[in-house]
Structure 1
Amino acid sequence: MAIVLGENQYGKAEVRVVRVDRDDAAHRITDLNVSVALSGDMADTHLTGANDKVLATDTQKNTVFAFARDGIGDIETYGLRLARHFVESQPSIHRARISVEQYPWNRQGHHSFARSGEGTRTATITFDGEQATVDGGLTDLTVLNSTGSEFWGFPRDRYTTLEETTDRILATAVSATWRFSRAEGVDWEKAYHTARASLLDAFADTHSLSLQQTLYAMGSRVLENVPDITEVRLSLPNKHHFLADLAPFGLDNPGEVFHAADRPYGLIEGTVRRDGA
């Protein structure tokens, strides 16, 4: 039986980069977590240990910092610059994937900032020497509807204990990734903020009979409002809130006091795409 090397890649993961723009008295903060993954003609180093085609991961880290010196701008543009550099500067590298997380900060003064809880912006850029693909997105966007959500009509068997409800709290921490139809000529900043607002608006507007229904509404709203996006992948953990039993204390609980369960949790995932995409 022959043994062969399969697909492989290597890179530098989670390079933390903070850039301070000091062009005027009101400074600007860009706070990133950047991961690089490279693949190509890497068989020799796996089979013989030869490193003549291996761009050291320390070099990759230094490149991430050096490119930040010229300015970062939109993380999609920054990732495209890095991906193209690695492929075009190293003959042995045929494909580069750059993953970027951007942590938001709110201004408190000219040079004072507080970490925001509005979710983390993400981008993944892949370049193979000819074609670039760009995925935008966000993670940890925590949202809650205190009413306007139901869950009933589900199958019941000998293991079912969950009661049906026509009024419940619906809460989730949204992780969304969207694929752009092109890698050039996109207003990345506008696309991100429009997509994020679309997710929030659809979550708030949808009278939900299931979290799956809400997922589809959220993805659809993004596609309706951002023409450059072809599909949206969503992961929605159901942050369960259970009505606390106050009867042992002689108290009623008319839907006011809840236990916010940490785990286990339902996890709803799905993709919403344009027909034919």
Structure 2
Amino acid sequence: MSGVTVRIDDKGVAHVEMCRAEAGNAIGLAMATGLLDAARTCAQADGVRAVLLTGRGRSFCVGGDLREFAELPGDRLAAHLGRVTDALHGALRVFAGLDAPLVAAVQGAAAGAGLGLAAASDLTLAASDAVFVAAYTGIGYSPDAGVSWSLPRLVGPKRALDLLLTNRRVTASEAAELGLVSRVVDAGRLTEEAGKTAELLARGATGAFGATRRLVAAGLSTGLDAHLDAEARRLADAAVSDEGREGVAAFLARRGPDPGVSRAT
């Protein structure tokens, strides 16, 4: 059993849930492989327009499955961790390549790889009782799950190093101030608000969302001239797509765009 489930609803939202509540949704090999399979399902299924990532139970994800790792002898641990990170990083690559935006709903603890999943999401809603902690160096590990890439881009390199080296706990409100999460909601309303956000995105222009995701990611490492050229190309592609034509027609007619219109030209 992978510990990950995927359900695609009739609104086009893919609900990806980590289901090892009894272990804080700790990520071992099975869970990492399950996340990769879930990401591939989202990429291959027809009609996925948004992805909602959640963790069952009290915590979103407490990080790596240290009990699993501790059971392995030293001569097998490195290879095992390689398989875990290959699968987990593969999932992050697939999610990043989707046109459908990725929304994370974080409650309880988001530690280690859980922090990485939260940081990798396009929109991250945090319950008011959520706590974020890097945790890696506290056990003598270095980061994975893209944390050393995403965290400096979200909060800046100095603040990222503060979190990565000291492993101090960051509350939901501070995470919002730092730019680690999009917004904080009452703990009792997290599921509702995250679902509404994913459904709102699912009604939007998925092709334009995909182009925007890639432009924002590329803009962090691309020079201005090259980025302006990329924006122009993406805009032209979007304008002649069925989605773009429907969006303009809907605006001029003072109605909402038809979410069923394909992005294909």
Question: Normalized against structure 1, the TM-score is what?
Answer: 0.25
Q: Which structure features the higher share of strand residues? A: 1
Larger relative CO (CA 8 A, sep 6+): 1 or 2? 2
Question: Normalized against structure 2, the TM-score is what?
Answer: 0.26
